[in-house]
Amino acid sequence: MALVFQFGRILAVCFLAEGLAALLPLPIPASVYGLLLMLAALGLKILKVEQVKQASSFLVNILPILFLVPAVGIMALWAELRAFLLPCLLAAVPVTILVMAVSGLATQWVQGLGKKGGKSHD
């Protein structure tokens, strides 16, 4: 029964995020609002990690299955997508490298802030 309540909490955050995306005139997807809301709820101790841990672990474990439908769609439209393959790769490869570099630098910066403050979050 605890798992049902955990899913309910996650769905409530998703529902609030959808509401924010509909109300605010910003080009930000509801999923980003959801991540920010969940981060805020956990950071402000509105939700405790234990209150969503089992359900979130389950969702992360089945994540690869959620990519099956898009993969099948790509296979079904392969003839049409083949013409766009080279431009997509030319765009995706440098952007992927840029995202990885920025993420790594941001992580190092945040870890440096933690060390300067004398707090360890391990």
**Those residues with Cβ within 8 angstroms of residue 53's Cβ, 6 or more apart along the chain or in another chain:** 6
Verify that 80 and 54 share a domain, yes or no: no
Verify that 94 and 34 share a domain, yes or no: no
Verify that 39 and 11 share a domain, yes or no: yes
Domain count, the chain: 2
Mean pLDDT computed over 71-95: 89
Q: Flag whether pLDDT at 118 surpasses 70.
A: no
Query: Of residues 116 and 58, which shows the higher confidence score?
Result: 58
Task: Name the band, by pLDDT with cuts 50, 70 and 90, for residue 4.
Answer: very high
Task: Name the band, by pLDDT with cuts 50, 70 and 90, for residue 106.
Answer: very high
Using an 8 Å Cβ cutoff, are 55 and 8 in contact?
A: no
Mean pLDDT computed over 16-32: 95
Verify that 72 and 43 share a domain, yes or no: no
Task: Name the band, by pLDDT with cuts 50, 70 and 90, for residue 21.
Answer: very high
Parent domain of 106: 67-122
Verify that 74 and 114 share a domain, yes or no: yes
The rounded mean pLDDT for the chain is: 91
Q: Flag whether pLDDT at 40 surpasses 90.
A: yes
Verify that 92 and 37 share a domain, yes or no: no
Query: Of residues 61 and 121, which shows the higher confidence score?
Result: 61
CA distance 45 to 71: 38
Verify that 59 and 106 share a domain, yes or no: no
Verify that 44 and 81 share a domain, yes or no: no
Verify that 86 and 103 share a domain, yes or no: yes
